Amino acid sequence: MKYAMILLSGVLLLSGCANQSAGISIDSSNQNVVLGSSVLGKKLEFGNAKTSTVNDRLLAQVDVTNKSGETQNLQYRFNWYDAQGLEVDSGKSPWRQFIVYGGETVTLQGVALNPDAKNFRISLRNIQ
């Protein structure tokens, strides 16, 4: 099994270009956290992102820590990209709900349906 540790080193704030429904995106190919919501970005911290291969499919895992004392009701979804950066399985990954309590860390994971997937982006948003 091949493990690749991804250091989430940069934070890029996009105000006009970000899709407001996404809130936060973590992109494995360029190791950036993209914030569409600065409020949500101040409450959450990301780390220990890694990938591995399971049954010829890419498995992605990202830790999310709630730095606030408030319970966060959120949704996440993975988007998958091939080696050229083109999206595969477009629209097949549903939004999934999760709760992260104050000070808690949860690990979000997803498995690509398409064996051509080599990179991922995970998007988070508040539940409306």
Give mean pLDDT, residues 16-21: 38
3-state SS class at 63:
strand
More confident residue, 54 or 6: 54
Check whether 24 has a pLDDT greater than 80: no
Contacts of 17 (CB under 8 A, 6+ apart): none
Position 26 pLDDT exceeds 90: no
Taking only the tens place, the pLDDT of each residue in 38-84 is 778 889 988 888 899 999 999 999 999 999 999 999 999 888 999 99
Q: What DSSP assignment string belongs to 68-114?
A: SSS-EEEEEEEEEE-TTS-EESTT-S--EEEEE-TT-EEEEEEE-SS
| Domain range summary for the chain, segments of one domain joined by + | 4-126
Q: What is the pLDDT of residues 82-128, one digit of tens each?
A: 999 899 987 778 899 999 999 999 999 999 999 999 988 888 888 86
Answer yes or no: CATH 2.60.40.3230 is held by domain 4-126: yes
Mean pLDDT score, 7-22: 32
Model pLDDT, residue 15: 26
